[in-house]
Structure 1
Amino acid sequence: MALSMIAQRRAGAFSARQAPRAVRAQALTRPVWFPGNPAPAHLDGTLAGDYGFDPLFLGQEKETLRW
């Protein structure tokens, strides 16, 4: 048994140490309600609580947003 373990080491049965891989994470510029979906053009992140969710397009008119 010991002889076979020595033979395996010499034959390269054990894997060589691998170099660490670099991991690159990419975050969004701002949080959105559904990641991967683009926010409507009129929701540019300037309003408080703007997460890109306006299914009825109530925020398209700038005058109504003031109220």
Structure 2
Amino acid sequence: VGLILNGYCGPEARLSFDVTSGGSLQNAETGRCVHPQGGSATPAEGTDLIFYDGCDEARLRFDFVLQ
């Protein structure tokens, strides 16, 4: 399933994410984490993001910057 991030913040678990201790973005409903399509540790800009089993690998780490 492709992932599109959107500004809508509804109460549904399918729209909720947690950041794991290893920095992965994990869907609250499925427990699956966000992966770059193809699994590259250095995906090209524009690479699709998908939900997949497995979390907390270095290549799956998100670093969030507050602005």
Q: Which has the higher contact order (CA 8 A, sep 6+)?
A: 2
**Under a length normalisation based on structure 2, what TM-score does the superposition of the two structures give?**
0.19
From the CA coordinates, give the structure whose radius of gyration is larger: 1
The structure richer in helix per residue is: 1
**Under a length normalisation based on structure 1, what TM-score does the superposition of the two structures give?**
0.19
The structure richer in strand per residue is: 2
